[in-house]
Homo-oligomer: A and B are copies of this chain.
Amino acid sequence: MIWPTIFLGLTLQVLLVFGARYPKNLHIWPMPESVEYGNKTIFLSKDFQLKTDGSKYADASGILKDGFTRLLDVITASNVIESNFSKVDESVLLQGVHVIVLSKDDELQYGVDESYELSIHPKGKPIYANIKAATVYGALHALQTFSQLCHFNLKRRKLEVSQIPWTITDRPRFAFRGLLIDTSRHYQPLPMIKKVIDSMAYAKLNVLHWHIVDTQSFPLEIPSYPKLWDGAYSLSERYTVAVAADIVKQVKEPLDISNAFTFKLIDGVLSDFSKIFKYKFVHLGGDEVDTSCWSSTPHIKEWLKQQGLNASQAYEYFVLNAQKIALLGSGVAERVVAAGLRCIVSNQDAWYLDHLSTTWQEFYTNEPLTNITNPTQQKLVIGGEVCMWGEHIDGSDIEQTIWPRAAAAAERLWTHPDKLAKTPKDVTSRLSHFRCLLNQRGVAAAPLDGPGRVAPIEPGSCYTQ
């Protein structure tokens, strides 16, 4: 009876010596830059707390506090915690997370520092999980990683963190890790969009590219052009400015949303104008564009203020942006960066979620820097984006069409190349674990075993499908 135990002990030793080469029982998605762990278990206190002593960040807007509340929600979502915690010895009790943020500033902008350190060591009483981050957005990523370390212990009826001590240092490979949703081909109700944003944060995606309007419908309210959203499919299939602002406000993981949102908003207005006003916009002088709506839209106004731009400067910025950043497929990307332009990789053949025949393995192996070897040119690839075009997507099928395939791309965009699997089958078990985690959090992620949005082929465990 004693041999298996000892053998297990040896195994763990070996793993530790080799600095954790990610065995089957490591279930973090996307994989952090560096992970070390042990073999002890600790239990979350029933009054699990957020502690910020020594942090420079004041959290005036409650970004961190809200993130902590969401953490508690997700780790308790799939079970009922019923046990009497007072029974547990303090030496195995985790009292909370101690978050230290180095920057006072929480302005959201492209390239914000998203790095973090997360360590859980059974030292000191009471014991805290220690998070150190340059910005509050790094701290939010750390909370997401922490949430994946928490499990429900069926014997003790407690939330536990096993495999401690943990030492994790992490940062994204690419600054722009996007998901495009399309609310023109089909309207997406507010609750669906909010769920998509929450689930993006679980996979550390950080840009919601909201393709609000297109030929098919114009669901967005533009205060200075009140007739525009008469182009919506129906009265109820519309987004008021307040709803749009609410969606932006809810985006507290580092989604570069004001930027993406505003940019897309203008993009939408212009492209729509070009249809309404019969190609008046072939020459974009700018003088024909009434930009007053920006200053009358609270969150855009706020964003303009932060940027120190007036409306027409902003318009110039957008046009320049449109020229500077291009959404491109691989192959094209090499030529664009060779020309000194920035780009975001988003190739149809691998990263279009509406292509149901594209498997998660193809999403995983799509490398943004394919054939781009020059370091200067590599820096011009600021990231990538998976696209959920809406021709056949509405509120009934968006979640399982996005997940788990978007998660495969998310690891490609987040994880350091050395830590990426050489072959997708090396991550199948970890990705299916993440997919089941999404289900446990109420997100309808589809089985891995098949193409996009596939139903389970036969009865069985979530972890095998």
Q: Which residues of A contact B (CB under 8 A)?
A: 77-80, 82, 151-152, 154, 157, 184-187, 189-192, 195, 216-217, 233-238, 240, 242-243, 245-246, 390-400, 436, 439-442, 444-447, 453, 455-463, 465
A77 touches B191 (CB 8 A): yes
Contacts of A459 in B (CB 8 A): 184-186, 216-217, 390-391
A392 touches B189 (CB 8 A): no
B154 touches A395 (CB 8 A): no
A447 touches B394 (CB 8 A): yes
Residue of B nearest to A460 (CB): B233
Q: How far is the CA of A233 from the CA of B460 in the complex (A)?
A: 7
A393 touches B455 (CB 8 A): yes
Chain A to chain B: the 7 pairs with minimum beta-carbon distance, closest first: A191-B442, A395-B439, A233-B461, A185-B459, A80-B242, A82-B242, A396-B446
A434 to chain B, nearest CB (A): 13
Please list 20 pairs of residues, one from A and one from B, whose beta carbons are closer than 8 Å in the complex, sorted by A's number. Answer: A154-B238, A186-B462, A189-B439, A189-B441, A189-B442, A191-B440, A195-B442, A217-B461, A233-B462, A236-B440, A237-B462, A390-B459, A395-B440, A396-B399, A396-B444, A396-B455, A397-B446, A397-B455, A399-B444, A453-B455
Copies per complex of this chain: 2
Residue of B nearest to A249 (CB): B80
Interface of A is mostly: loop
* Contact pick for A190, options B77, B187, B242, B398, CB 8 Å: B77
Q: How far is the CA of A236 from the CA of B455 in the complex (A)?
A: 21
A189 touches B440 (CB 8 A): yes
A409 to chain B, nearest CB (A): 18
Q: Which of A184, A191, A456, A457 has the most CB of B within 10 A?
A: A456
A462 touches B242 (CB 8 A): no
Contacts of A184 in B (CB 8 A): 459
Q: Which of A82, A243, A245, A397 has the most CB of B within 10 A?
A: A397
B397 touches A78 (CB 8 A): no
* Contact pick for A442, options B192, B393, B445, CB 8 Å: B192
B392 touches A456 (CB 8 A): yes
Q: How far is the CA of A79 from the CA of B441 in the complex (A)?
A: 23
Residue of B nearest to A433 (CB): B236
